[in-house]
């Protein structure tokens, strides 16, 4: 771990901080229980964290947020021997329309959606705070990890020892995912690429729903790296932001872990429709003549999923990369069931009331989809078997549609077949998914 990155993620580390209406149970920060219920809110404040001299700071959190619960992370820094005011990184829950704070300035502090910057000043210490809230006295959020990483101003990031290794990450491209989520889909794809190699089998659309920053588009980028780390964490995968050098990326590959990074696109790439800043996963390094290559899964690189497996000259990569990375670890066995809920449904033809439409039945009860399900941010899709096996469900061909008559209209079956199997997916804005099969 780089010396400029600190993670609090177990009972011993959490107990060094100040507990106000919260406690530490099973390695997580939770609200205080009182007579079989939980208090409505509480706060955890870390001890002061000495850091190398820095001018930029990122906060990460991994937390389970059952319905009716939320958290809000804050940080402050020590500048010229004095603590700054506390600054927030937005209230977060899988069940909220998550919004980071709008860009603002306060003295030397410059607050962005997922980073705190200092203008003409440097800091020497950081302190973290996280508020826990619940509207349901029987449930509490559970904070598993709280982290901070800073950009050092007195050191050039280390390049480390070269490594020659390639990991098999899951490649997906933006062009095959839900069009409505495209502005932030590359970040979601990066998380799916990393988690699915460990057997999670999550759709990028599920991640996209819980990492989206719902600030008005005019206010900035809907991709928020702190929210992305939280999204991975809610499915049980430890994830955090790190300001680091090439040495860290190489060490992650040696350890069998890919990384998620942002790259600046070239003018030619932007002219072809790529964003100015895009997220990719680093899947390895290849040594050869010269500086070698960086192996990537780049969601913007083509129209077919395996087009995403690209490589880039190392020197070009170092120019395009901003030295910020999202790091991830496999999901511990204790967290295998975490994350937004997937429920099974039974799609059934609606019959004469809506010819050609299938409606969903959940627990034997009719579950009608609202007409504005997609307009309000949901994703509705269906797929059919395409004659070849896939490493993950997300590699199947998805047809993204709008609700019709409370259900979903499926394309007519292949006339050469007596029956056709369809799988229907409905993903809400909390990342919860209804999924079921029907044969017609």
- 299-315 pLDDT, tens digit each: 999 999 999 999 999 99
- Residue 237: CA count within 13 A, CB half-sphere: 26
Q: Give the residue-averaged pLDDT of 400-419.
A: 86
The pLDDT of residue 335 is above 70: no
The pLDDT, as a whole number, for residue 413 is: 67
The pLDDT of residue 336 is above 60: no
Choice among 38-42, 186-190, 215-219 with the minimum mean pLDDT: 215-219
- 215-242 pLDDT, tens digit each: 866 667 899 999 999 999 999 999 999 9
The pLDDT of residue 326 is above 90: yes
State residue 174 phi and psi, 5-degree precision: -60, -40
Q: Give the residue-averaged pLDDT of 171-179.
A: 97
Pull the structure tokens for residue 10: 């177990």
Among 53, 5, 3, which residue's Cα sits nearest to residue 154? 53
26 vs 334: which has the higher pLDDT: 26
The pLDDT, as a whole number, for residue 1 is: 53
Choice among 189-198, 200-209, 219-228 with the minimum mean pLDDT: 219-228
The pLDDT, as a whole number, for residue 419 is: 84
- 117-171 pLDDT, tens digit each: 999 899 999 999 999 999 999 999 999 999 999 999 988 888 889 999 999 999 9
Q: Which residues pair with 358 in a beta bridge?
A: 349, 408
Reduced to 3 states (helix: H, G, I; strand: E, B; else coil), residue 87 is: strand
Pull the structure tokens for residue 377: 């941010």
Q: Give the residue-averaged pLDDT of 312-333.
A: 95
The pLDDT of residue 339 is above 60: yes
Helix, strand, coil fractions of the chain, as percent rounded to 5: 20, 40, 40
Among 99, 9, 80, 93, which residue's Cα sits nearest to residue 46? 9
Q: Tell me the average pLDDT of the chain.
A: 94
The pLDDT, as a whole number, for residue 106 is: 86
Pull the structure tokens for residue 35: 């007579």
The pLDDT of residue 415 is above 70: no
Q: Which residues pair with 148 in a beta bridge?
A: 6, 59
In which region does residue 295 sit, left (phi positive, over 0), alpha (psi from -120 to 50) or beta (all else)? beta
State the helix-helix crossing angle for 225-234 and 182-196, rounded to 10 degrees.
40
- 43-64 pLDDT, tens digit each: 999 999 999 999 999 999 999 9
Q: Are 5 and 57 in contact (CB under 8 A)?
A: no
The pLDDT of residue 267 is above 80: yes
Reduced to 3 states (helix: H, G, I; strand: E, B; else coil), residue 321 is: strand
Rg (CA), the chain: 23
Torsion of CA 179, 185, 189, 192, to 10 degrees: -90
The pLDDT, as a whole number, for residue 411 is: 87
State residue 138 phi and psi, 5-degree precision: -95, -5
Reduced to 3 states (helix: H, G, I; strand: E, B; else coil), residue 375 is: coil
337 confidence band (pLDDT: 50, 70, 90): low
Residue 161, classified by CB atoms within 10 Å of its CB into exposed (0-12), middle (13-18) or buried (19+), is exposed
């Amino acid at each position: 771990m780089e010396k400029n990155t600190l993670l609090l993620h177990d009972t011993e580390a959490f107990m060094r901080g100040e507990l106000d209406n919260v406690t530490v149970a099973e390695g997580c920060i939770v609200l205080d229980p009182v007579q079989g219920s939980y208090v409505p809110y509480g706060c955890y404040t870390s001890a002061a964290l000495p850091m190398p001299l820095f001018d930029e700071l990122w906060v990460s959190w991994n937390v389970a947020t059952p319905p009716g619960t939320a958290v809000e992370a804050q940080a402050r820094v020590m500048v010229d021997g004095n603590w700054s005011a506390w600054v927030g990184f937005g209230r977060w829950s899988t069940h909220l329309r998550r919004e980071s704070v709008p860009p603002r300035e306060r003295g030397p502090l410059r607050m962005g959606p997922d980073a705190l910057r200092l203008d003409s000043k440097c800091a020497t210490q950081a302190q973290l705070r996280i508020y826990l809230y619940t509207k349901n006295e029987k449930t509490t959020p559970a904070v598993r990890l709280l982290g901070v990483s800073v950009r050092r101003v007195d050191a050039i990031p280390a390049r480390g020892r070269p490594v020659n290794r390639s990991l098999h990450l899951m490649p997906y491209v933006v062009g095959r995912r839900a069009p409505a989520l495209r502005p932030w889909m590359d970040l979601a794809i990066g998380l799916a690429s990393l988690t699915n190699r460990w057997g999670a089998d999550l759709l990028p659309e599920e991640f996209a729903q819980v990492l989206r920053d719902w600030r008005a588009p005019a206010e900035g980028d809907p991709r928020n790296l702190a929210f992305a780390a939280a999204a991975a964490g809610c499915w049980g995968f430890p994830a955090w932001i790190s300001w680091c050098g090439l040495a860290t990326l190489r060490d992650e590959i040696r350890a069998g872990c890919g990384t998620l990074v942002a790259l600046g696109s070239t003018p030619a790439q932007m002219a072809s429709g790529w964003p100015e800043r895009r997220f990719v996963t680093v899947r390895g390094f290849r040594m050869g003549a010269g500086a070698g290559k960086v192996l990537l899964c780049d969601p913007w690189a083509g129209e077919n999923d395996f087009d995403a497996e690209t490589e880039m000259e190392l020197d070009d990569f170092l120019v395009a990369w901003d030295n910020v990375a999202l790091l991830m670890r496999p999901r511990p066995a204790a967290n295998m069931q975490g994350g937004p809920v997937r429920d099974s449904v039974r799609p059934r033809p609606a019959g004469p009331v809506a010819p050609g439409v299938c409606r969903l039945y959940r627990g034997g009860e009719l579950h009608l989809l609202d007409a504005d399900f997609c307009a309000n941010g949901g994703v509705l899709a269906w797929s059919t078997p395409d004659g070849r096996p896939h490493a993950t469900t997300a590699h199947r061909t998805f047809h993204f549609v709008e609700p019709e008559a409370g259900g979903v209209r499926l394309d007519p079956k292949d006339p050469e077949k007596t029956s056709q199997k369809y799988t229907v997916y409905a993903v809400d804005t909390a990342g919860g998914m209804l999924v079921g099969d029907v044969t017609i």
